[in-house]
Amino acid sequence: MTNPVKKSVLCDLVSRHSNFDFNEHIANTAPEDYDIWNDFCLPMHYSDAALEYKTLRSSCAMFDASPMKKYRMRGTDSGHFLDRILTAPVSQLSVLKAAYGLICNEQGYLIDDGIVIKLGADDYLLLISELDLDDHFAKYNDFEDLAITDETALSAGIAIQGPMSGKVMQQVGFTGIEQLAPFELKYFDLNGHQILVGRLGFTGDLGYEIWFSPKAIETITNAIEKAEQTLDIKIPGYGLTALNICRIEAGMIVPGWDTAGTFEDLAGERTPYELTLGWNVKLKGNDDFVGKVSLSKEKVCGSRFKMKGIKIKKNCLLEDGHQLYGAVDGVKIEIGSLPSIVWHENAGYWIGFASIVTDCADIENIYVICNKTGNEVAGEICQIPFVDLPQRNQVPAK
C-alpha cells in the first residue's frame, strides 16, 4: 500500500469504503506519518504541512472526516436524553440546526465533546471524534422511547474549509449554499444522491462539512474535481498537523489532547470552566444534567486552572504536556503545563494552550525549559482565540 502522505483525501475516501486491508497499510507506513483514528490512518500531512495550512487559510483545502464516530438517536425521548448527558440543552433546536455539546462525568470533568444535529422532531445525530460512549450512554439511559445506534460506517464525510470554500461548494452543485448560516444544515440532491451539508468545521474559518452515503463517493469526487477545473484551483488535503494549528488558532479544545482523558489521575483532567468552555454550561433554566451539581459548586468556589494562549518565539524542542514555570518574589515555581503546543512553520514560532494554576494566572514572566538544551525560554501569554476571521460567520458567505 502507498504511504498516506503520497495519497489524497479523495483516494482516502475511496479506500475507507472499499476492500481495504488496514493491517497491511499500517505495516507499510512510517509511524511518524500518521495517527490512528477509529482504526484508520489519519495522515499528519499529505505533502507539506506548511503549504497545506497556507492553502487552507488563503484558498481552500479538504479533510476526510469519514472516521468520525456517529451516534444516531431516535424516539420521543431522544431530545430529553441528550439534555441529560450534555451541559446545555439541545432539544429546543430547530430541525436541521446543529449545536456544540459537552459531555461530562458526575464530577464535572470533560469526557468528550461533539456536534449535535437535529435531523427531525425526534431524530438526532451526535458526531464525536472517536470515543466509545456506549457505557456512558447506558448508565444514563432509563428512557422508554429511545433507540441509539452507531452509524459510523453508514456515511462518508469531507470537510471543505477556507475562504474560497463557499465558491467551491457552489461549483460542486450546492446552489444557494452561501445563505447557509453557521451551524445550519440543508439537504441537497446531487445526481440522485441525498447529500447533507452543514456550515461546520474545526478550523475557525469559513467552512462546510458534507455527509453522504458511500454510494455517492464517485459523484462527490467527480464534482470536486470539476470544481477545481472550473475555478482553476487545486484543493489539497490537509492532515493532522495543519488541522492542529488551525484549531489552536481558533481556540478549539480537543478532549484527550487538552485533557489527560484517562481519569487515572484527576490532576490531568479538566472541567469546562478550566478549558474556556464555561459558556456552554447552562446551570439556570436547565434540568439536571450529568455533572451539574459539581459544576454548580465550581461556579461558586472557583476553578483549579485557567486556560490561556501562549506563544514561544524560539525554535526549541517542546512537546505536548510540557511544564510551564514562573517566578514569584524571585522564586521559580511550576505554574502549569502546555497541554497542546505546535510549531507554526508559517508564523515562525510555537503556539499552544497554557493550563495555569488559578493562583498563578496573573504571573507575567513565564518560561519553559527546552528539552534539548535545558535552557529557559520565555513565553508570551495571550488571549484565546489567536485569530478571529470575519468570513467564519458572514452571511451570505463571500
At 1 the pLDDT is: 31
Specify if 276 maps to a domain: yes
Please state the separation of Cα 19 from the chain's center in Å: 28
Specify if 149 maps to a domain: no
Specify if 263 maps to a domain: no
At 19 the pLDDT is: 58
Backbone angles phi, psi at 73, to 5 degrees: -125, 120
Residues 62 and 159 placed together within one structural domain of the fold: yes
Residues 75 and 196 placed together within one structural domain of the fold: no
User: Cα–Cα distance between 96 and 186 in angstroms, integer?
Assistant: 7
Q: Check which CATH number belongs to the domain holding 90 and give it.
A: 3.30.70.1400
User: Cα–Cα distance between 85 and 79 in angstroms, integer?
Assistant: 10
User: Cα–Cα distance between 340 and 259 in angstroms, integer?
Assistant: 9
At 31 the pLDDT is: 60
Q: Are 351 and 343 in contact (CB under 8 A)?
A: no
Distances (CA, A) of 180 to 115, 192, 206, 259: 17, 22, 11, 33
What proportion of the chain, given as a percentage, has pLDDT over 90? 80
- CB half-sphere exposure, 155, CA atoms < 13 A: 21
Residues 336 and 369 placed together within one structural domain of the fold: yes
Q: 374 — alpha (psi -120 to 50), left (phi > 0) or beta?
A: left
Specify if 362 maps to a domain: yes
Residues 333 and 371 placed together within one structural domain of the fold: yes
Please state the separation of Cα 224 from the chain's center in Å: 23
Mean pLDDT of 178-189: 98
Residues 380 and 336 placed together within one structural domain of the fold: yes
Q: For residue 243, what is the DSSP state?
A: H
**Grid coordinates standing for 358?**
488559578
Q: Is the pLDDT of residue 97 over 50?
A: yes
**What is the number of structural domains in the chain?**
3
Give the pLDDT band (50/70/90) at residue 4: very low
Specify if 42 maps to a domain: yes
Q: Residue written as cell 450546492?
A: 174
In the chain, the amino acid numbered 161 is Q
Its domain, for residue 208, covers: 4-66+155-238
pLDDT digits (tens, 9 = 90+) for 204-262: 999 999 999 999 999 999 999 999 999 999 999 999 999 999 999 999 999 999 999 99
Specify if 396 maps to a domain: no
pLDDT digits (tens, 9 = 90+) for 299-336: 999 999 999 999 999 989 999 999 999 988 888 999 99
- Rounded (5°) CA angle 235-169-214: 80
Q: Check which CATH number belongs to the domain holding 35 and give it.
A: 3.30.1360.120
User: Cα–Cα distance between 79 and 84 in angstroms, integer?
Assistant: 9
Give the other-Cβ count within 10 Å of 222's Cβ.
Answer: 14
Entry pTM:
0.92
At 136 the pLDDT is: 95
Q: Are 281 and 87 in contact (CB under 8 A)?
A: yes
Give the other-Cβ count within 10 Å of 36's Cβ.
Answer: 13
Specify if 265 maps to a domain: no
Q: Is the pLDDT of residue 7 over 70?
A: no
- CB half-sphere exposure, 115, CA atoms < 13 A: 21
What proportion of the chain, given as a percentage, has pLDDT over 70? 91
Q: For residue 330, what is the DSSP state?
A: T
At 5 the pLDDT is: 40
Least confident of 79-83, 113-117, 132-136, 275-279: 132-136
Residues 47 and 189 placed together within one structural domain of the fold: yes
User: Cα–Cα distance between 208 and 224 in angstroms, integer?
Assistant: 13
Last residue of a domain, one of 251, 284, 300: 300
Specify if 246 maps to a domain: no
